[in-house]
């Protein structure tokens, strides 16, 4: 049985072993204690054992900063003399570790390191995404999605995660284009400074296209943040954290149907990568550094800490700065969540400190000894964040998160509100209205739920009896409400929904009307079929 779909039956409910960890930890009242993917990954005989590669032999690559190729206007998109960038989406090959041969990848740039846009609030940019991919995918197509048989295998469409954009530029899954095609998108940037990331969202293949390498950084800045005096320039480092698996010849590995099951319901690789290298190292000075961290893995949750047990300061989350900085030694990031953290290396000159996720080593910081002046500051108050009052909500939507298992206990499908992507739209919201969305998770997985277009606030979480719900659809709460932790007190665009719990968020919909979507950001879940359209209407 593959490590991706290995499942045990526990009390009659099919669970992966990682889920069992979640379940156990959850039963002890702290589901954060052992998230999915926290287990030490096992490797399969048909894959390279990446755990045996020597760690920390390659320097951390930094993202390739993009420069505009002039300015353009596009009346239909609402762009006037906006900086214009063209992106060639193509196949490349790159060495991901000193001791591996070059690996075939797809890229928005020219290397395995993600490309990076830097943009400023209220200054929109145009990006022309051009598909220069060959007709054949570098991964086995494992598409359970209906109706995609005649679509080109190497279709793509880019979504800028967390961006407030008109629907036409949002990267709707069905807006894919094949080799030779392109799509011009306008990103108005009318939102606060934050770290966004672009990734593929093409119908039925996004999880494969992301594994292949279609991810990029997009850092948005504003004057309010600039004025704080946070570490900047070479002391501000973006980190994409993700996992991959490899064949014995060093090529990307993804479970291949039909031999290994029709659907890999989660993907957990045994190699930890940062910015295009396996377990890289970064030489740092003994001073404060700001790290923009994004979990860009398909399924893995990272439970971040430092190998010396040291703490770090958290200053931001998905949609920018928190109201107040806080100090912690552990931070759980689900797929697509971002965190803005500051590590002060001035207390550990000459030391080697590893960034870890439980027992996994992700990368190494090598702290220099030369004393330097550090004029950066970390104010305790960062930004005013007004909590949205619950009374502003005009409607509460109750949505279930569902898993359907076959006779063998293997999941065959996961859904939102028992509906498929192709079912008629049920979530139709009014422009500039506020709603509470209540996610009742009937499954044993933590699902990171993401809404396109909007930012939101997390209200609370409350465990309920799934058994009662399955009997008569009644909600019986079995424990008190839990308030969100300090890392969730800012603006979010992904929310972790723990098992057997109702997670509530409050959302203001706008500023655009049109067709958007909400989905689980475990990309394997999204593909089969935890993804639903929603409409914003005037």
Q: φ and ψ at 17, to 5 degrees?
A: -65, -35
For residue 520, the minimal CB distance to Cu ion (Å) is 3
For residue 524, the minimal CB distance to Cu ion (Å) is 8
Q: Which stretch binds Cu ion (CB under 5 A): 5-13, 149-157, 257-265, 515-523?
A: 515-523
For residue 448, the minimal CB distance to Cu ion (Å) is 7
Tell me the torsion sign for CA atoms 209, 410, 332, 494: positive
Q: Is the peptide bond before 529 cis (omega within 30 degrees of 0)?
A: yes
Running DSSP on this structure, what letter comes out for residue 62?
P
For Cu ion, what does the binding mask look like between residues 474 and 513, x meaning CB under 5 A?
----------------------------------------
For residue 35, the minimal CB distance to Cu ion (Å) is 13
Cβ proximity of 414 and 443 under 8 Å: yes
If the CB atoms of residues 246 and 439 are measured against Cu ion, the closer one turns out to be 439
Site for Cu ion in 422-461 (CB under 5 A): 447
Running DSSP on this structure, what letter comes out for residue 500?
T
If the CB atoms of residues 308 and 417 are measured against Cu ion, the closer one turns out to be 417
For residue 447, the minimal CB distance to Cu ion (Å) is 3
For residue 36, the minimal CB distance to Cu ion (Å) is 9
Q: How far apart are CA 240 and CA 178, in angstroms?
A: 27
Question: Site for Cu ion (CB under 5 A): which residue of 451, 522, 527, 536?
Answer: 522
Cβ proximity of 264 and 4 under 8 Å: yes
Tokens 């109201």 -> residue: 323
Q: Which stretch binds Cu ion (CB under 5 A): 14-22, 227-235, 313-321, 525-533?
A: 525-533
For residue 445, the minimal CB distance to Cu ion (Å) is 6
525 touching Cu ion, by CB under 5 A: yes
For residue 525, the minimal CB distance to Cu ion (Å) is 3
Q: Which stretch binds Cu ion (CB under 5 A): 119-127, 135-143, 295-303, 521-529?
A: 521-529
Nearest in space to 254 (alpha carbons), one of 152, 103, 356: 103
Q: How far apart are CA 484 and CA 397, in angstroms?
A: 20
Site for Cu ion in 382-411 (CB under 5 A): none
Cβ proximity of 89 and 132 under 8 Å: yes
If the CB atoms of residues 212 and 522 are measured against Cu ion, the closer one turns out to be 522
If the CB atoms of residues 455 and 525 are measured against Cu ion, the closer one turns out to be 525
If the CB atoms of residues 447 and 532 are measured against Cu ion, the closer one turns out to be 447
Range 146-170 burial, b when 16+ CB lie within 10 A, else e = eebeebbbbbbbbbbbbbbbbbbbb
Q: How far apart are CA 401 and CA 44, in angstroms?
A: 31
Nearest in space to 520 (alpha carbons), one of 301, 219, 332: 301
Q: Which stretch binds Cu ion (CB under 5 A): 2-10, 375-383, 475-483, 519-527?
A: 519-527
Q: How far apart are CA 16 and CA 265, in angstroms?
A: 10
Cβ proximity of 125 and 187 under 8 Å: yes
For residue 39, the minimal CB distance to Cu ion (Å) is 17
For residue 20, the minimal CB distance to Cu ion (Å) is 17
**Could you count the other beta carbons within 10 Å of the beta carbon of residue 493?**
25
If the CB atoms of residues 213 and 334 are measured against Cu ion, the closer one turns out to be 334
The two structure tokens encoding residue 480 = 């008190």
Which DSSP string corresponds to 72-93? EEETTTTEEEEEEEEEEEEEEE
Q: How far apart are CA 88 and CA 133, in angstroms?
A: 9
If the CB atoms of residues 113 and 415 are measured against Cu ion, the closer one turns out to be 415
For residue 233, the minimal CB distance to Cu ion (Å) is 38
If the CB atoms of residues 77 and 522 are measured against Cu ion, the closer one turns out to be 522
Element (H, E) at 274: strand 271-274
For Cu ion, what does the binding mask look like between residues 246 and 265, x meaning CB under 5 A?
--------------------
If the CB atoms of residues 34 and 230 are measured against Cu ion, the closer one turns out to be 34
Q: How far apart are CA 203 and CA 151, in angstroms?
A: 9
Q: Which stretch binds Cu ion (CB under 5 A): 174-182, 356-364, 483-491, 514-522?
A: 514-522
If the CB atoms of residues 517 and 522 are measured against Cu ion, the closer one turns out to be 522
Q: Which stretch binds Cu ion (CB under 5 A): 61-69, 225-233, 404-412, 524-532?
A: 524-532
Range 423-443 burial, b when 16+ CB lie within 10 A, else e = eeeebebbeebbbbbbbbbeb
For Cu ion, how many residues bind (rule: CB under 5 A)? 4
If the CB atoms of residues 43 and 419 are measured against Cu ion, the closer one turns out to be 419
Tokens 């500039």 -> residue: 432
For residue 145, the minimal CB distance to Cu ion (Å) is 16
For residue 441, the minimal CB distance to Cu ion (Å) is 9
If the CB atoms of residues 133 and 522 are measured against Cu ion, the closer one turns out to be 522
Q: φ and ψ at 309, to 5 degrees?
A: 75, 5
Q: Which stretch binds Cu ion (CB under 5 A): 152-160, 291-299, 311-319, 523-531?
A: 523-531
If the CB atoms of residues 72 and 525 are measured against Cu ion, the closer one turns out to be 525
* Sheet of 494-497, strand order: 427-430, 531-537, 514-520, 447-451, 494-497
Footprint of Cu ion (CB under 5 A): 447, 520, 522, 525
């Amino acid at each position: 049985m593959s490590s991706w779909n290995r499942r045990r039956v526990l009390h009659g409910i099919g669970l992966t072993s990682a889920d069992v960890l979640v379940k156990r930890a959850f039963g002890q009242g702290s589901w954060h204690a052992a998230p999915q993917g926290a287990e030490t990954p096992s490797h399969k005989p048909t894959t390279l054992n990446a755990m045996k590669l020597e760690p920390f032999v390659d320097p951390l690559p930094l993202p390739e900063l993009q420069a505009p190729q002039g300015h353009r206007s596009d009346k239909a998109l609402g762009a006037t003399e906006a900086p214009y960038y063209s992106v060639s989406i193509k196949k490349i090959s790159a060495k991901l570790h000193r001791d591996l041969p070059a690996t075939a990848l797809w890229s928005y740039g020219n290397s395995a390191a993600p490309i990076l846009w830097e943009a400023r609030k209220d200054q929109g940019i145009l990006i022309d995404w051009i598909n220069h991919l060959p007709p054949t995918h570098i991964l086995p197509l494992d598409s359970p999605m209906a109706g995609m048989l005649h679509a080109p295998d190497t279709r793509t469409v880019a979504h800028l995660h967390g961006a407030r954009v008109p629907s036409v530029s949002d990267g709707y899954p069905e807006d894919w284009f094949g080799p030779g095609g392109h799509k011009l998108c306008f990103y108005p940037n009318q939102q606060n400074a934050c770290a966004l990331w672009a990734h593929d969202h093409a119908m039925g293949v996004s999880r494969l296209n992301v594994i292949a390498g279609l991810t990029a950084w997009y850092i948005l800045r504003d004057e309010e943040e600039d004025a704080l005096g946070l570490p900047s320039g070479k002391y501000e480092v973006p980190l994409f954290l993700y996992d991959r698996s490899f064949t014995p010849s060093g090529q990307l590995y993804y479970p291949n149907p039909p031999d290994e099951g029709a659907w890999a319901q989660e993907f957990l690789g045994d190699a930890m990568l940062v910015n295009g290298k396996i377990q890289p190292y970064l030489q740092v000075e003994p001073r404060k550094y700001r790290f923009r961290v994004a979990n860009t893995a398909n399924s893995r949750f990272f439970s971040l800490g430092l190998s010396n047990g040291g703490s770090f300061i958290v200053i931001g989350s998905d949609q920018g700065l928190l109201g107040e900085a806080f100090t912690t030694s552990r931070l759980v990031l689900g797929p697509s969540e971002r965190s803005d953290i500051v590590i002060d290396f001035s207390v550990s000159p000459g030391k080697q400190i590893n960034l870890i996720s439980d027992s996994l080593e992700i990368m190494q910081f090598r702290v220099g000894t030369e004393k330097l002046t550090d004029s950066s500051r970390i104010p305790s108050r960062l930004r005013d964040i007004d909590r949205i009052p619950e009374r502003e909500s005009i409607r509460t939507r109750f949505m279930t998160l569902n898993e359907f298992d076959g006779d063998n206990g293997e999941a065959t499908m996961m859904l939102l509100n028992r509906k498929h992507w192709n079912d008629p739209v049920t979530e139709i919201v009014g422009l500039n209205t506020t709603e509470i969305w209540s996610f009742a998770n009937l499954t044993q997985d933590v699902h990171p739920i993401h809404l396109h277009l909007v930012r939101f606030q997390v209200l609370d979480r409350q465990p309920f009896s799934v058994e009662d719900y399955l009997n008569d659809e009644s909600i019986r709460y079995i424990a008190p409400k839990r308030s969100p932790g300090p890392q969730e007190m800012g603006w979010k665009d992904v929310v972790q929904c723990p098992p057997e719990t109702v997670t509530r968020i409050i959302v203001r919909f706008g500023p655009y009307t049109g067709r958007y979507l909400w989905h689980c950001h475990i990309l394997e879940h999204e593909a089969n079929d935890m993804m639903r359209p929603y409409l914003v209407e005037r």
